[in-house]
Chains A and B, each alone.
Chain A
Amino acid sequence: MSVILSTIVWAPLLFALVALFLPERDDDERARVRTVALGGAGVSFFVTTFFAILGQIGLGQGGGLASAYQENHTWFSNFLFQAHYDLAADGITLPLLVVVTTVFGCAMFHSWKIHERVRLYVILVLLLETAVNGVLCASDFVLFVAFWGLLLLPMYLLIRVWGGDGARRAAAWFAGFHVLSLVLIIATVAIIIVEAGARSSDMSANLTTFSITAETVGFWLSFAAFAIAMAIFPVHTWMIEAQAKASPGVATILSGTMLLLGAYGMMRISLVVFPVPAHYYSFAITGLAVVGAFWGGIGALRQDELRRFIGYMNVTQMSLVLLAVGAQTSVALVGAVLLLAGQSIGSAMLTLVSGAVEERTRTTSIRAMGGLVTQAPRLAGFWLVAAASVIGVPLLAGFTGDFMVFAGSFPEHRIATVLVMASVILTTAGLLWVANRVFFGPVRDQFVRVRDVTLLDLTVLFPLVGAAVLFGVRAGAVVPVIANGVLEITTRISGG
């Protein structure tokens, strides 16, 4: 009996339970709490990475294998429908799992910068990791909803308790939007269970007996739910607020993992379960992607706060993913998954660097910064690497994703693709403009004592740089794996 996926999902929770009973009266005890938490994130990361490599071999070779790993036990059956403790990792899940466990590992290293209520902080982060990994692995609708719901409380508290001024409002925005997305997903699942006639909440069950009305309603409910989670225009405000007001570590998790889940859900549920309306309304989806891409790009250029800027960059990046969802071609969807990986890594890196910059300059205003490259050249280097990854510079994570999304979307929606490509100019300009304002130009007097990156910063940022390079250089090894996972979506859309 395989317990690999259960280990990946539940190891953080087990370590959180251990941390719960550790004291935190002095620095040594707090360090012990952090170390235990790092152990939880580490176990999850190493198991994921090791088995992702094995899975990559299995899935990359094809041969009809749908999932690298699966665990399936009956959860409850004495009811209207059967629910299963069904975890599966297919070609879409595996690379995303590698990315999120990497981001959580870095966030856990970053917890060494947290000095107040360390135990609660790491427990909440580990709880959040359990939820995120669970959402990615869940192959049962009720299980998916349960893990999706588990995201709520830890993230709400993390934003509210460790955030800066205005964090309460940001946390409230997050909670409101997340609860809304949750109830929309519950409604979707209720429709699937009642209308599909499968009497099972298994995602792989035969769900082909929908009426047109039920399918259309289900599609739009799920689309709205995951659009909120993806923070695409016009439901992006919660993410901008949370990104700006949460502590850097929490903002890293938010932009590095939470947005990814929305896109994952859209591909896994909206496209697979409701393929007919997804195809029928693809024009509307791409229209939304075009508006979102420009809205994000222009919005980013108007920002003066570093992390608000990153928030709007995320809106643009997610619009690119939405374009692929609208195009629904195999190439575009593979590109979307790669883009998600690249966006998560790039955005997490940008957030961590911006946190480091804010920590040193004691300001969040872009206009107030300048000339930091003289004092902190390595920090500037990390920003440029992250920016390059987001922009889509070759040999970094974003390049292959961007390329495949545009190449795959163009045959389906030519004008929309061209327009979204044009919006990338805004993104690029924005990232370079910010780099110029923050790191270059004359050195400001108040920043002459600014330190460059510390060993802790390097420990936090290097794994992300490594992941960005790995996904960029070895994209050829990842693409067949993702293509294997995307096959189910494209088969459903084409009526299979």
Chain B
Amino acid sequence: MPPDFARAMTVALLPEAMLVGIALVSVLVALLRPGLRPDIHRWIACIGLVGSLGACGLVLLGLRNVRSGVAITVWNGGFVVDSFAMFIAILACVTALCTCLISDSAVRNIPSRSSAFYALMLIATAAVEALAAQREMTTLFVALALLLVCLVALGALVKTDPRGAVSSFEHLIEGSVGIAAVVYGLVLLYGTTRSTNLDAVAMAVGAAPGAVALGVALIVLGLCGTLGVFPLRRWVGRVATNVPAGAAGFIIAMSLIAGGAALARVTVSGLGPNVGVWRWLVPIVAAVALGHASLSSLRETTVSRLIGQLVSAQAAMLLLGLLAFANGSRGLPAYGMTAFLGSLGVTAIATLAAFGVLAMLQVAGIGDAIDDVRGLAHRSAPAALMMTVAVGTLAGVPPLAGFLTRVLLISSAADTHYGWLAILAVGATVLTPIAALRFVATLYDDAGDAVPFTLGATPLVSRIVAGAACLAGVGLVLLIQPLLAVATAGAGTLR
């Protein structure tokens, strides 16, 4: 192995290594000094995440002069550190960092297990980073399984009542079904093509078209479960409702990022246009998922489930970008993947923002039912404002960033001959803003006898981070150009 390659490999794997290393340090510190304040573990985790971000920065520095956007490829192309993997890694790190800073309410009830909480968070982030670099199905499966275990354990760890344990168990079951589907698909592909490398699979699809089609369909459906869309999406609502909001936001956002990254890697980057089955399956899944989540959001009676449905609808919308990856009308390049990555970023941040505000309400003793937040604007104007922006962004209420990314996704789909899906997405865009408007209106109704409260029980840093995440819903409308520039760079290696 040439020394330059070893150095490059070290730098390329540094973001993941940093997270796993710091997670181990946190656990060791907890074992050696069990009585330490929970805050210490939080700051250790923050150091790890900042370190990982710094390592990503190093890789990006190295990528500056690489026209292909690929930093390093190993294991016969099975592991690729490229600008796409870096985009996902940075997004995952930022999501985890924000969660670290707003997770006070979730960790407050489990001071003795805070090191485990943060260690699991770091390992989940590392799993997402590793997953984004996979073009080898076996290691992709391992990363997915690791992520699922970490997220389920996180949910179970912070539970405050038995329902939390039940929901984590249900998450585990549903996640396992999804992963099982991926494994069955993988086995079918391997049996047909004698390879688990996606490039090799794409080249050998002619061998047994039926088996390949079934295998690809199983993999896509399994990964849709991780993304949080139909058919395996019930876990989103359960986690949103039963896990404390500080942790629920992380579980859902991280799963969304992982599902999006894995789907992009498998379909666009791996199977590509030669394997046609995913190009008719994904639109069907997107159509059903969009309709189901959007309609479901109209009849939700709790804030957490409403947020869950909106995330699910937005996740389904992401699939439109996935389809628009090749050439658009008039033979010009399509920009679906740019829209996909931009939307993924906005959705992840908006999810954190919404659950961050919900966590503050939980700390203040406000119930989860929509009726419990009636007149919130009277009782705490900042909370109502932040909730308005966060839910509005998730629902695609104009002119917030969620709306703008929907416009980009829909125009991408329309440009790549998925006009019918674009029409359906436009229809779904009617439903989620209406659900959000109905909810927001209750925030500004009369408060009745309810007394005002402040968000003072939540630490200042958590309030600032949650507020900044909400503000991103507005700020990213103005700063969409830099976001799209980064997303275009990330998407460049996939196209």
Contacts and interface: CB of A to CB of B under 8 A. Distances in A.
Contact of B429 (A171, A186, A197): A186
A145 B427 CA distance: 16
Interface string A132-157: 00000000001001111110110011
A175 to B, nearest CB: 5
B193 to A, nearest CB: 34
Contacts of B414: 190-191, 193-194
B398 A149 contact: yes
Contacts of B411: 80-81, 189-190, 193-194
B441 A160 contact: yes
Contact of A175 (B328, B422, B437): B437
A138 to B, nearest CB: 11
Contacts of B338: 78-79
B471 interface: no
B339 A79 contact: yes
Interface string A187-218: 10111011101010000000000000000000
A149 B402 CA distance: 12
A214 to B, nearest CB: 10
B371 interface: no
Given A77-B481, A78-B484, A156-B441, A183 B392 contact: no
A33 to B, nearest CB: 13
B328 to A, nearest CB: 7
A160 to B, nearest CB: 5
B412 A149 contact: no
A120 interface: yes
Interface in B276-320: none
Chain B residues touching A, range: 35 or more
Contacts of A79: 335, 338-339, 408, 484, 488
B437 A152 contact: yes
Contacts of A161: 441, 444-445
Contacts of A146: 398-399, 403-404, 477
Nearest to B342: A79
A190 B422 contact: yes
Contacts of A186: 407, 410, 426, 429
A148 B398 CA distance: 8
A166 interface: no
A101 to B, nearest CB: 21
A422 B433 CA distance: 42
B397 A153 contact: yes
A171 B442 CA distance: 13
Contacts of A193: 411, 414-415
A20 B388 CA distance: 15
Most buried by B among A156, A160, A168, A179: A179
A76 B484 contact: yes
Contacts of A78: 335, 338, 481, 484-485, 487-488
Nearest to B436: A153
A116 to B, nearest CB: 9
B31 interface: no
Interface residues of A, number: 42
B335 A80 contact: yes
B445 A179 contact: no
B490 to A, nearest CB: 11
A394 to B, nearest CB: 42
B426 A187 contact: yes
Contacts of A171: 441
A75 B476 CA distance: 11
B430 interface: yes
Nearest to A221: B426
A7 B86 CA distance: 40
Contact of B399 (A81, A150, A156): A150
Nearest to B399: A146
Interface in B358-400: 377-378, 385, 388, 392, 397-399
Contacts of B410: 186, 190
A171 B444 CA distance: 13
Nearest to A160: B441
Contacts of B444: 120, 157, 160-161
Contacts of A147: 399
Interface string B460-492: 000000000000000001001100110110000
A77 B412 CA distance: 14
Contacts of B423: 187
B433 A74 contact: no
Contacts of A80: 328, 334-335, 408, 411-412, 415
B481 to A, nearest CB: 4
A175 B434 contact: yes
Contacts of A76: 480-481, 484
Contacts of A179: 430, 433-434
A105 to B, nearest CB: 24
Interface of A: 20, 74-81, 117, 120, 142, 145-150, 152-153, 156-157, 160-161, 168, 171, 175-176, 179-180, 182-183, 186-187, 189-191, 193-195, 197, 199
Given A145-B399, A146-B477, 11 more contacts: A76-B481, A78-B338, A78-B481, A80-B335, A117-B378, A147-B399, A153-B437, A176-B434, A186-B410, A194-B414, A197-B329
Interface of B: 328-330, 332, 334-335, 338-339, 377-378, 385, 388, 392, 397-399, 403-404, 407-408, 410-412, 414-415, 422-423, 426-427, 429-430, 433-434, 437, 440-441, 444-445, 477, 480-481, 484-485, 487-488
7 contacts: A76-B484, A80-B334, A80-B415, A146-B398, A149-B398, A152-B433, A183-B427
